[in-house]
Chains A and B, each alone.
Chain A
Amino acid sequence: MMASSYNAKDEDAVGSGGPGAVKSKKPDNTAFKQQRLPAWQPILTAGTVLPAFFMIGLIFIPIGIGLLVTSNNIKEFEIDYTGVDMFSPCFNCSQNYSWNSTSACTCSVPFTLDQPFESNVFMYYGLSNFYQNHRRYVKSRDDSQLNGDKSSLLNPSKECEPYRTSDKKSIAPCGAIANSLFNDTLELFYIHPNGSRITIHLVKTGIAWWTDKHVKFRNPGGNNNLSIVFQETSKPVNWHKAVYELDPSDPENNGFINEDFIVWMRTAALPTFRKLYRIIQKKKDNMTPTLPPGNYSLEVTYNYPVRSFDGRKRMILSTISWMGGKNPFLGIAYITVGSVCFFLGVVLLIIHHKYGNRNNNADIPN
């Protein structure tokens, strides 16, 4: 009886659908539309994560140890030559400083290396409390000028203000960054035990990023006759010499593509920073260390004032490993994370063994 009444209804429904005229609005039975796409459903349980923890521990701890050892093997020597202290050699220079003085103030800072520096040694200068990352400073440059664009050379970007023009001529290179180019000259002498001073050869190329030197920075109109190219421009106000006189000896290192300049133009991330200054190539014979232990003298042509903003200047000598300069942070971090993971693995294993069974039992009836 029930069935018959249902049948009657079904017939009605078929009838009301019309003779095939109405298109069925039945939804497509596709996996996507029915939210039945095949899916991987990972369940992170103690069972799957425990081995991962042990693995992380086992991998990270050796890496950390390796990093720490590498970092510790890096020789680094750092000396502050600002001359704040009355007895420091550069005290006079730091006191008497004025931008206008024509005679350069020089001072010589003696130091001793206790250990030999093998392989290539990298010489950095470091500045403290110098805000190269200040916004006003960071944006005060004209990259198209530095890229050799002639129109920008004569008409630099507004961002360079107030270092855009001087004496109604445009400044090349314009902007605060270029204007404050680090211009101390650092020279290194080895004081031989017999008293003679041996000049240590400092290589001034290879200190900037290759792409910066070859693509991002370009002299306008090639590297020849820079003085003509730049004649319509004025040197930055704080500079002693024009941009085409930065390294007259080497046309490949002069003008905008001077590497000291390029290095300076890459603004530092933090107010205390170091920048690569020179490279001391390792000796060809490979027998004697690049810098043997002993007494050295750092000759500083003191041009760069930092005391007005309570800054510091440093010279750093460092060897380099595959991970870069000396920094124990990574090593410590890896060892700690590795051991924490390992420890957690152990703890989880204990928890898993003690309480895991009960959970399993609870799940079985399902």
Chain B
Amino acid sequence: SCCNRFRTESISCGGDEKRVDSRTIYVGHRPCPDTEAFIPSKFCDNRIVSSKYTVWNFLPKNLFEQFRRIANFYFLIIFLVQVIVDTPTSPVTSGLPLFFVITVTAIKQGYEDWLRHKADKEVNKYPVTVLEDGRSVKKESEKIKVGDVVEVVEDETFPCDLILLQSSREDGTCFVTTASLDGESNHKTHYTVPDTEKDLQALTATIECEQPQPDLYKFVGRMHIYKQEQEPAVRSLGPENLLLKGATLKNTKKIYGVAVYTGMETKMALNYQGKSQKRSAVEKSINAFLLVYLCILISKAVVCTTLKYVWQSKEGQDEPWYNQKTQKEKDSNMYLKMFTDFLSFMVLFNFIIPVSMYVTVEMQKFLGSFFITWDKDFFDPEIQEGALVNTSDLNEELGQVEYVFTDKTGTLTQNNMEFIECCIDVHIICMLGFMCHFVCLFISIYQEKEELFLRALCLCHTVQVKEAGSEVLADQVDGIDGLLLQPEEERGFIASSPDEIALVKGAMKYGFTFLGLESKSMKIKNRQNDIEEYKLLHVLNFDPVRRRMSVIVQTTSGETLLFCKGADSSIFPRVRPEEVDRIRMHVERNATEGYRTLCVAYKQLSAEEYAMADTGLREARLALQDREEKLMAMYNQVEMGMSLIGATAVEDRLQEEAAETMEALQGAGMKVWVLTGDKMETAKSTCYACRLFQRGTELLELTVRTLEDERLKSWSTANQDYGFIIDGATLSLVMNPPRDADASQYKSLFLQICQNCTAVLCCRMAPLQKAQIVKMVKNSKGSPITLSIGDGANDVSMILEAHVGIGIKGKEGRQAVRNSDYAVPKLKHLKKLLLAHGHLYYVRIAHLVQYFFYKNLCFILPQFLYQFFCGYSQQPLYDAAYLTMYNICFTSMPILAYSLLEQHTSIEILLDNAALYREIANNAMLRWHPFLYWTVLGIFQGLMFFFGVRFLFSNPALQDNGQVFGNWSYGTIVFTVLVFTVTLKLALDTRHWTWINHFVIWGSLAFYVFFSFFWGGIIWPFLKQQRLYFVFANMLSSVSAWLVIIILILLSLLPEILLVVLRKPRGPHSRQVYFSLPFPLLSLNSSFLPYPSYFLIFSLIYILFCSSFILHHVLTRCDVTQSQPITRYLKLYSYVKQWLVSLLVAGLH
């Protein structure tokens, strides 16, 4: 170890390596005799800064961040153009909405940052006690420096990452909960560094540890303890010695620890990096539509600019005597003028891309997500919690899910374990709950073995005994982790895995009671009520790769025993083969019944064997480099040549309504994949129980065992229902082929099989493999929307990987919930979340988006057409107030209300008819053809508005006193028709009229009328021109204006009404195509037109409709016919087999 340290130092002096890979800490800042010079290294202070801004940089930084969004930047450009160039509309028209958006966002972000500042301050100013020169000094938390010895009392949180030096508990342990870090509220035991002085004042030590890294569960370090006239003692430090900032001390009066990582270098701070943003498919559609509209905008501006110069080239048009240019205009460069003209047209038409849409979409998402949290159906009385929404950006994605990846344990099943039976050799002890307590048959020759088995169950675990007494009450709050009170003895157990509790309780039923662990000795009360004591020498912790755990104990008689329990696949190769066959049968039978099975083995260690293992383990634990690998190797070495004692079966009950939920999801057209770490038989039986596999389902298995099995089943090709089973080992062969040739081919082959199967089961999965599968499906052709649901830490990677991650507030801690996008208490809630909420959100937001584009298209189209009648002079048709208010006030509220409240089909029907979910599959409402439909509708209505009023104005004498109307009256009539039509169109689409809808729709219209009166009723002192003075009132005094407004509204809505009528009535059984009968109606409409221009317009629209309809039909015809997965399966099978064989051969050599 000395040379190891030397190496570290040499690196730190090396210079070319900037970052030292370890840091040295002087406990209490006391120099050590060993090191020549005490150089206090520079570490960052203990101030936590989670805030993004300060008072000074808030404005520039926030603005910079906001304008990095492409849409905001676009609007900023438009605004700047308006300020710089002489444009038709005042900068206010686009500046005001932009200002509004920016301000609201800035206020929101500022407020959030203020909260963070407040929280930071609270943490940073928190008083802590630091030992300095033997005295306790009160300090503010932010003043803690690395190397300080900090005192923490019970129920306090640790102010920084500490190495535990001293605990008030006798056995040198302390308990912490990391609820605020990873959400796991169970008590974790941490240990003091062995052999540290009782008197901390006299302790002279240095700690070498790795540089800060974010992994909460990894820590490697070493402590050198210097004693006078002695060789420095070296102690290894691991995560069990490290107390993390943010965790809370429990059940321990007081501890002392030395700060190793402070401030922003603590593991908690390093873990605060935000999750990567998930973007929804709707957002992608919006961006695509925006692009189309940008093209429309630019082409409009180009057309107008070109025509302007063509028109001006005619003599007398550019500058007639009545309309002279100013000197400045005359002098300006022709090309510059063309460019500014182009910009002016852009500005004039820029309303076609609405700023307000972003605001409305954001608001809809934010407010809409409340309905999920508010839903009382998601409330679970057991945990007293409802659903949780971590991001509101993905609401609509819930309605688009095509693939569901679900975990098994804790998700499909309850993770509420009950010891069902165990088998010791050939005997099956039936332990069904409490019933068969005494039914067990024991034959005396097996007595010994049975007791050994039960002792193994009692010893081989990491369960803690909950102390009875006053503390019980306080700690029951944490009880969801499996605190189960023992009725007769007031005894509870705490463990990280519910299986362990089930096993310990199972052993208790048989008379072997685990009394607890006290200063490294485990106490067991046996059947004779004697207390047996075992000295706990080593715990070989459980990990998902090894899939087993072991303990090494010493009996009072001096025997050293190793007990090991783990999955059958990890135990069987390590025990004598002749024992295996007897147990295997039972294990398999239990597995097919859906139980979780564990095998228990033991071995007796001779003194030499133990000494070897002991030194090996200690050395591995001390290693600074590759500690994990070394430990793993050591574990594998120790856990060899054991003898099998027996196997246990623990039942994990299915979640409530798991089968119904799965059935509904499949009915909704979703493909359900089960990804589990469990073994195949158990997982398969769960799948059958959940009705993912039906009796008639043809199972295609691709597992190591079937491959070993040589013979292939014969397939009945008549069956259409396929299930596919693959295990982790085979999957890694497929995903990472040994030879890079054909790598992608087999991957796609695998994908194709999976896509054609109704259900896929992947068992024996490592967490990363789960994510790998999700990623593969996510990136496959057509990029389907994926959803992952899980409850444990092992599901986090797949939850993060999928488009939508759902966490179950289960028993395995809170990590899944923390990393999920949505969290629900139970699996059964998924049905409503997807079928009702997801469906509704999707319909709402899709309609919102389409409607926004539509209403701005028919808003701007008349303005564009007007250019043809005003000499392409960029004269706006509408007044600036109308231009500004249209999107903000007149038409924003109804669509917002619609997008929050609409239920085109009631929730009950949506839940009852899962097939309705398929209607909106594949982003059905935001594909190109509904977009085209809305666009054509917008164009049609825009043309109607403009030309209708145009024909009316062929004689502008519209009042009964012969007086005439001017251009502002023209614009106001068009605008009035527009506002009413657009609002009534929404009213036609609304299927669910609550009082809010009524209020907002009629209120908006009333507000428009009221505002127009008000705006035109006063000479506004701040306005340069009183354009609208009494224009609206005069308009209303004209009967013709009334008549034209009425007929234009009706005419614009007529196709829509007809469409609604001719559409099949929406009902549970109607699977309607989005629009079914578009063109005959329009041909009827067009027959009445007396004017050739109308005729032209209509024929254009007709052609557009027809082409889109034909396009739609052509596109739907192109559906790929699903081919038989069997042929593909056979191909993949032969491939995997070939490689497996070669691998096995390679492994033998």
Measured between beta carbons, the chain B residues less than 8 angstroms from A159 are 1024-1025
Number of A residues near B (Cβ < 8 Å) is 117
Bound Cα distance from A267 to B870, whole angstroms: 12
Q: Contact check: which of A10, A13, A41 meets B992 at CB < 8 Å? A: A41
Contacts of A136 in B (CB 8 A): 323, 325, 873
Task: Using A26-B386, A180-B323, A323-B1043 as known contacts, list a sample of 16 further A-B pairs with CB atoms less than 8 Å apart, ordered by residue number in A.
Answer: A5-B433, A15-B479, A16-B483, A26-B381, A41-B991, A45-B1061, A124-B957, A138-B875, A143-B1023, A216-B1019, A268-B966, A270-B869, A323-B1040, A324-B955, A325-B956, A363-B1069
Chain A, range 103-154, C-beta contacts under 8 Å to B: 120, 122, 124, 130-144, 147
Q: Is A287 an interface residue (CB 8 A)?
A: no
- Give A196-229 interface residues, CB cut-off 8 Å to B: 206-209, 211-212, 215-216
B368 to chain A, nearest CB (A): 10
Q: Answer whether A24 and B1043 are a contact pair too, CB < 8 Å, given A44-B1061, A215-B1029.
A: no
Contact of A49 among B875, B1040, B1061, B1089 (CB under 8 A): B1061
Contact B1030 A327 (CB under 8 A): no
Query: Bound complex: CA of A67 vs CA of B370, how far in Å?
Result: 54
- Contacting residues, chain A, for B1033 (C-beta < 8 A): 211
Select one of B383, B903, B953 contacting A269, CB under 8 A: B953
Partner pick for A56 among B960, B1050, B1066, CB 8 A cutoff: B1050
* Residues on the B chain within 8 Å of A24, using CB: 384
Bound Cα distance A24, B317 (Å): 76
Contact of B384 among A17, A34, A122, A270 (CB under 8 A): A17
A/B interface sample: 25 pairs, CB < 8 A:
A13-B381, A18-B476, A28-B374, A33-B370, A35-B371, A35-B901, A39-B993, A43-B1066, A44-B1061, A45-B1065, A131-B871, A134-B870, A135-B870, A138-B967, A143-B1023, A179-B322, A207-B963, A216-B1019, A268-B964, A273-B964, A279-B962, A308-B321, A309-B320, A323-B958, A324-B962
- Tell me the smallest distance from the CB of A184 to a CB of chain B, in Å: 14
Contacts of A45 in B (CB 8 A): 1061, 1065
Chain B residues near A325: list those with CB within 8 A: 955-958, 962
Cα distance A134–B952 when bound, in Å?
20
A185 smallest CB distance to B (angstroms):
18
Give the shortest distance, in Å, between A176 (CB) and chain B (any CB): 5
- Mark each residue of chain A from 261 to 281: 1 if its CB lies under 8 Å from any CB of chain B, else 0: 001001111110111100100
Contact with B along A328-342 (1 / 0, CB 8 A): 011011101101110
Q: Which residues of B contact A208 (CB under 8 A)?
A: 963
Q: Is B376 an interface residue (CB 8 A)?
A: yes
Contact B952 A330 (CB under 8 A): yes
**Which chain A residue lies CB-closest to B475?**
A16
What B residues does A271 contact at CB under 8 A?
869-871
Q: Which of B956, B960, B1025, B1060 lies in contact with A323, CB distance below 8 A?
A: B960
Q: Is A92 an interface residue (CB 8 A)?
A: no
Would B384 and A35 count as touching, CB distance under 8 A?
no
B 37-53 binary contact with A (CB < 8 Å = 1; else 0): 00000000000000000
A188 at the interface (CB under 8 A from B): no
The smallest beta-carbon distance between A181 and chain B, in angstroms, is 9
Q: Is the CB of B1058 within 8 A of A27?
A: no
Q: What is the size, in residues, of chain B's interface with A at 8 Å between Cβ atoms?
A: 117
> Which B residues from 607 to 655 make CB contacts under 8 A with A?
none
Contact (Cβ within 8 A) B1043 A309: no
Is B1087 an interface residue when CB atoms closer than 8 A count as contact? yes
B957 with A131: CB separation less than 8 A: no
Closest approach, in angstroms, between the C-beta of A343 and any C-beta of chain B? 7
Between A37, A207, A215, A305, the greatest number of chain B beta carbons within 10 A of the residue's beta carbon is seen for: A37
Contact check, B875 vs A133: say whether CB atoms are below 8 A apart: yes
In the complex the two chains form, is A326's CB within 8 Å of B955's CB? yes
Stretch from A83-91, A248-256, A294-302, A314-322 at the B interface: A314-322
- Neighbour of A329 across the interface among B322, B954, B1025, CB < 8 A: B954
**B184 within 8 Å of A (CB atoms):** no
Give the chain A neighbours of B1030 by CB distance below 8 A: 209, 211-212, 215-216
By a CB distance below 8 angstroms, the chain A residues around B970 are 269-270
B residues near A, CB below 8 A?
Answer: 88, 316-317, 320-327, 370-371, 373-376, 378-379, 381-386, 416, 418, 432-435, 473, 476-480, 483-485, 869-871, 873-876, 901, 903, 906-907, 948, 950-970, 988, 991-997, 1019, 1023-1026, 1029-1030, 1033-1034, 1038-1040, 1043-1044, 1047, 1050-1051, 1054, 1057-1058, 1060-1062, 1064-1069, 1081, 1084-1085, 1087-1090
Query: How far, in whole Å, are A228 and B1023 apart by their CA atoms in the complex?
Result: 28
Which residues on the B side are within 8 Å of A120 (C-beta)?
A: 962
- Distance A238 CA – B324 CA, assembled complex (angstroms): 12
In the bound complex, do residue A12 and residue B433 qualify as a contact, i.e. CB atoms below 8 Å apart? Answer: no
Check if A4 sits within 8 Å of B323, measured CB to CB.
no
Q: Which residue of A lies closest to B433 (CB)?
A: A1
Inter-chain CA distance A320–B969, complex, in Å, is: 19
A147 near B1019 (CB under 8 angstroms)?
Answer: yes
For residue B434, which residues in chain A have a CB less than 8 angstroms away from its CB?
1, 4
C-alpha gap A323/B967 in the complex (Å): 19
What are the residues of chain A within 8 A of B1050 when measuring CB–CB?
A: 56, 337
Which chain B residue has the least Cβ–Cβ distance from A320?
Answer: B962
Known contacts A44-B1060, A49-B1057, A131-B871; is A324 also within 8 Å of B374 by CB? no
Nearest chain A CB to B96's CB is how many angstroms away? Answer: 20
- On whether the beta carbons of A34 and B376 are closer than 8 Å, the reply is yes
Are A268 and B967 interface neighbours, CB within 8 A? yes
- Expressed in whole angstroms, the minimum distance between the Cβ of B949 and any Cβ of chain A is 9
Assembly CA distance A326 to B956 (angstroms)? 10
Q: Contacts of B953 on A, CB cut-off 8 Å?
A: 269-270
A79 within 8 A of B: no
CA A302 to CA B435, docked complex, whole Å: 118
**Interface residue from A41, A215, A267 paired with B1019 (Cβ < 8 Å):** A215
Instruction: List, in ascending order, chain A residues with CB within 8 A of B386's CB.
Output: 25-27
Residue of A10, A208, A269, A279 most packed against chain B (CB within 10 A)? A269
> What 5 pairs across the A-B complex have the smallest Cβ distances?
A180-B322, A336-B1088, A325-B957, A269-B970, A33-B374
Given A26-B376, A216-B1029, the answer on whether A276 and B327 have CB atoms closer than 8 Å is: no
Does A310 reach chain B (CB closer than 8 Å)?
Answer: yes
**CB < 8 Å neighbour of B1084 from A40, A141, A340:** A340
**What are the residues of chain B within 8 A of A41 when measuring CB–CB?**
906, 991-993
Q: Would you give the shortest CB distance from A348 to chain B, in whole angstroms?
A: 7
Nearest chain B residue, comparing its CB with the CB of A266: B966
A161 at interface, CB cutoff 8 A: yes
A143 to B485, CA, bound (A): 86
Do A143 and B1024 contact each other (CB < 8 Å), given the known contacts A1-B434, A25-B385, A323-B1040?
yes
Q: Is the CB of B323 within 8 A of A270?
A: no
B379 touches A339 (CB 8 A): no
The answer to whether B379 and A26 have CB atoms under 8 Å apart is yes
Inter-chain CA distance A207–B963, complex, in Å, is: 6
> When A134-B870, A215-B1019, A337-B1050 are in contact, do A329 and B960 touch as well, CB less than 8 Å?
no
Q: Does A100 contact B (CB under 8 A)?
A: no
In the bound assembly, the distance between CA atoms of A38 and B873 in angstroms comes to 52
Q: Give bound CA distance, A341 to B953, whole Å.
A: 25
Contact B871 A337 (CB under 8 A): no
Interface presence of A283 (CB below 8 A): no
Contact of B316 among A26, A140, A308 (CB under 8 A): A308
Closest to A15 in B: B476
In the complex, A270 Cα to B1146 Cα: how many Å? 89
B870:A327 contact, CB within 8 angstroms: no
Structural contact, A274 and B950, CB atoms closer than 8 A = no
Q: Which residues of A are found within 8 Å of B955, using beta-carbon distances?
A: 274, 324-327
Question: Which residue in chain A gives the minimum CB-CB distance to B382?
Answer: A13
Name the distance in Å between B88's Cβ and chain A's nearest Cβ: 6
* In the complex, A194 has a CB within 8 A of chain B: no
Interface centre among B325, B383, B906, B964 (most CB of A within 10 A): B964
Q: Are B1051 and A337 in contact (CB under 8 A)?
A: yes
Q: Enumerate chain B residues within 8 angstroms of A270, measured Cβ to Cβ.
A: 869, 950, 953, 956, 970
Pair A12/B485 contact, Cβ less than 8 Å: yes
Could you tell me the distance in whole angstroms from the C-beta of A12 to the nearest C-beta in chain B? 6
